Structures are given as C-alpha cells and as structure tokens.
Amino acid sequence: MLTDKNVVVTGGTGSLGKVLVRRLLTGEVGRPRKITVFSRDEAKQHEMRLSYQHRRAATDEVIYHNFEQVLQFRIGDVRDLHSVSTVLRDADIVFNAAALKQVPSCEYFPFEAVQTNIIGAENIVRAIREHHLPVKTVVGISTDKACKPVNVMGMTKAVQERIFVRANLDATATRFICVRYGNVLASRGSVIPLFHEQIRRGGPLTITTAEMTRFLLSLEQAVDTIFAALAGANPGETYIPRVPSARVVDIAEALIGDRQIETKITGIRPGEKVHEILVSEEEAHRTTAREDYYVIVPMLPELVTAKVESPLEKEYSSNDILMSKGELSELLKKHNLMVEDRLELSEDVLA
C-alpha cells in the first residue's frame, strides 16, 4: 500500500503520531520511501529523533543529515498555509494527527482550537487544491467528541470532518477520508492514569457519575483503524472501530482490587458526556458494518456510490454492550494496566 510512497504525518510527535510512525517504519503496510514528521515543537522532534538513533543525548549535529533519512522531521504548523504547502509538495499520503485535543484547554481558548482543528484542515485542502499537488489520500483523524458535540474540541473536530469530506468534490484526484474513535486507554489526561495516581496516594478514587461508560481502545487499535480506512475507505467515508466498553465504576473496582480504598462520586463536569457516542442516530441510517468496523457513508449525495446495506438501527454508544468485570480485568491485565506495588507508566504504555 505505501511501498515507495512519501508519507506526511502532521502532529507526528504526539502519542498517536509516534505509534503511527513506528508502525509505518515496520513495513506492515509497505515500506515508504520517506516519512516526514511535521509539527511545531522542536523539543519533541529532537527527542523523537534521538530515540530512533538510539541516543540519549546529542548536540545539534544530529539534524545535519535529516533530509537523507527515511524518517525526516520538519518544523511547521498546520495553521500556516505556506508551511503546509511546502511539506505536502511531494507527499503521496497525509495522516492529519495535528490537533488541540484537551477539552478544558479548548473551552478556555476556543479560537486556538478553531485555528488548529479547522483552519489547519482547510490549509491541507487548500494546499492540495490550489497547487494541484499529487497527494493520493488524506486521512483525517477525528474523535468521538465530534459526534453530537457538546464542547469546543468536539465542535471543531466535527467541522474538520465536514471539511475533509467536502474536499472530495474540489480535489477529485485526492481521496479524503476520516477515522473516528474514543478515548485511548492510558493516554495523557484519561481516567486510568488518574486512578493509578489516586491509588498510589491511598484514595479516594473520584468518579463523576456512577452511570458513566467509556469505550476501551488502545493506541495500536487506533492505528489499526487508520490502516483499515487507508486500505478500504471510499472517498468521504469515516471508519469507526467496534471495540469493547465498560462502566467507569467497574474500571475503578478492577484497579483497586483487594485494597481498602474508597470511591467518591464528584458530579459530571462541564462538557462531559455520560456515554461516549461514535455514531449518532442521525448518522445510523448511512452507517454499515464492514469487517471489524462501522463505516459512515458521506452525507453529500454527490459522494454516495451505492445504497447502504444493512444500516444501523440506532446510535452506537459505549452503553450498548458492556464488558463483564472478569472481561474487564483480563483486558487491563493484557495491556499491563493493573496497579502493582511499584508501577511506572509512560504516556506510551500501550505503544
């Protein structure tokens, strides 16, 4: 699929971006000619470059031969059309992982979210359209929060999805597709690292509401979804993984185990949903199962190539099929997320 292709990963130094780059380098979907990590944080790029060179520390000379490597790094910002145009000029495949994704940050700085999540996506489309760039596929990476959005992060991601879907009408030589998934297990800012820290301190574990449920997805499964969309999506389609879910109180109970630690209900936070939703009831009639995924067919009639076979009858929610406590414990053990006497976790624990 990607053999001898030039690949660009925007936001490639983030948690997902790093796992995506590592998987691309294995050659499981073909061996790219070049992989370019495009982001604005030079420190994160430096750390990532050193990790691939198996070095703990180095001075600036490590950058000297950057453009001779398969894995290259380029400083830039999706907010800037000029830098986007430059990095995409010889790209075949683009994975757009650049995002402002922390819900509270986006609430306090909504226009910053607009600039990255909406204008950034539009800049990718503009660069391809206005410069007639030979990009074959753009994969937009979205979130469950874009489905029936109640916060700025979700609102901006919902608009990003529509920008990419609609781009198929203007830049017909490029296939624009999306993936949408929920919170990633043990990712930065998620509930499991919080529970780990609260257990270390002796509790209590804080739960916003006893009814809350969440999908349980690993970074590897997120990348699996991206690769599945790359292989099988038609222009304008959105791929969604079918993954297990659980009650947050059951997650807390599994992590506590035999410890005498209390749980405390604190009340739902602004912009937070009781259940995650990956397909809304409005989208269900144009959503179908395809292998291990649900696929949302685009809303625009010009992009619909065939009738949706066996559409969903209702929304797809984290409250639909919940794991038993035994199944949940096994899943947490599988991903090394159970709390031991001494536990050291990084943000890439599932990488």
Tell me the catalytic residues: 145
Task: Give residue 307's identity as a one-letter amino acid code.
Answer: K
d(CA 93, CA 235): 14
> Does residue 115 sit in helix, strand or coil?
helix
How long is the chain?
351
Three-class SS of residue 243? coil
Specify the amino acid at residue 165: V
Among the listed residues 257, 251, 253, the one whose alpha carbon sits nearest the alpha carbon of residue 331: 251
Residue (of 140, 135, 138) closest to 161 by Cα position: 140
CB atoms under 10 Å from CB of 169, counted, come to 14
Buried b (16+ CB within 10 A) or exposed e, 187-207: beeebbbebbebbeeebebeb
- Residue 229: Cβ within 10 Å count: 23
Looking from the CA of 245 toward its CB, the CA atoms found within 13 Å total: 23
Tell whether omega for the bond before 104 is within 30 degrees of 0, i.e. cis.
no
Q: At what angle do helices 325-334 and 248-256 cross, to 10 degrees?
A: 60
Q: Which runs of consecutive H residues, i.e. helices, occur in 11-119?
A: 15-26, 42-52, 81-88, 103-108, 110-113
Rounding to the nearest 10 degrees, give the CA dihedral for residues 186, 190, 193, 196. Answer: -120
99 DSSP 8-state letter = -
| Token code pair at residue 165 | 């879907």
Q: Are 184 and 190 in contact (CB under 8 A)?
A: yes
What are the tokens at 169? 């009408």
